């Protein structure tokens, strides 16, 4: 069975940003371990992860949306068209053995929230949801302070600061591999 990891993150992160560099490294590491990379298929973090995997000969899925007028990034090895945003989100989620979220905007928060909610409600079987970046604990703590978020909810998340840690968690939790 194919091992797919979905990477979420901002489309507005340029090549010089920390997030883009982290995404390239994630793509490289995951491809080296035999994972297929799945992203929204456009620019920023999505391009960085696609580029990293492509550089290592990995398979790169881009889940595109027919409503967007933007061109997909050039590193995709396969494009999957979606009619609308919710179908795109479902495609990003259902295929994957794990998820990694980097810094992004409203789209990233939407993707993270949907995956997190599906894990909370057991709509999908347990799988790792890794948050990469030192800002995520503050974001989630703000959710805890201002929304109804329990310790059990937070326990569904893994917080890491490096791409290497993110890949280790994916390999250990999604596949039972020791790293």
Answer for the pair 19, 8: CB distance below 8 angstroms, yes or no: no
Instruction: Quote the CA–CA distance of 91 and 82 in Å, as a whole number.
Output: 8
Answer for the pair 62, 73: CB distance below 8 angstroms, yes or no: yes
pTM (2 d.p.): 0.95
Instruction: Say if residue 176's pLDDT is above 80.
Output: no
Domain residue spans in the chain? Answer: 4-175
Answer for the pair 17, 158: CB distance below 8 angstroms, yes or no: no
- Residues 68-106: tens digit of each pLDDT: 778 999 999 999 999 988 999 999 999 899 999 999 999
Our CA angle for 31, 48, 86, nearest 5°, is 90
Q: Where are the alpha helices (DSSP H) in 106-154?
A: 106-120, 136-146, 151-154
Instruction: Say if residue 179's pLDDT is above 60.
Output: no
C-beta pairs of 68-71 under 8 Å, 24+ apart in sequence: 68/42, 70/42, 70/43
For 4-175, CATH number?
A: 3.40.50.450
Instruction: Say if residue 2's pLDDT is above 70.
Output: yes
- Residues 152-168: tens digit of each pLDDT: 999 999 999 999 999 99
pLDDT, position 94: 92
**Residue labelled with tokens 């899925």:** 61
Confidence of residue 177 (pLDDT cuts 50, 70, 90): low
Q: How many Cα atoms sit within 13 Å of 49 on the Cβ side?
A: 34
SS3 of 162, please?
coil
- Residues 32-60: tens digit of each pLDDT: 999 999 999 999 999 999 999 999 999 99
Which residue spans within the chain are E strands per DSSP?
4-8, 36-39, 60-65, 78-82, 98-101, 129-132, 157-160
């Amino acid at each position: 069975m194919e091992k797919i990891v979905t990477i979420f993150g901002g489309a507005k992160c340029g090549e010089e940003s920390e997030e883009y560099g982290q995404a390239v490294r994630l793509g490289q590491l995951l491809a080296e371990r035999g994972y297929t990379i799945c992203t929204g298929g456009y620019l920023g973090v999505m391009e960085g992860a696609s580029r990293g995997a492509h550089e290592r000969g990995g398979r790169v899925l881009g889940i595109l949306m027919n409503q967007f007028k933007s061109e997909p990034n050039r590193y995709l090895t396969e494009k999957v068209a979606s009619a609308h945003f919710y179908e795109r989100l479902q495609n990003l989620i259902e295929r994957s053995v794990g998820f990694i979220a980097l810094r992004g905007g409203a789209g990233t928060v939407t993707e993270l929230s949907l995956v997190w909610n599906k894990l909370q409600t057991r709509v999908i079987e347990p799988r790792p949801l890794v948050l990469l970046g030192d800002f995520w604990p503050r974001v989630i703590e703000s959710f805890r302070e201002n929304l109804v978020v329990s310790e059990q909810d937070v326990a569904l998340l893994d917080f890491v600061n490096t791409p290497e840690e993110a890949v280790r968690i994916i390999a250990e939790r999604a596949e039972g591999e020791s790293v």
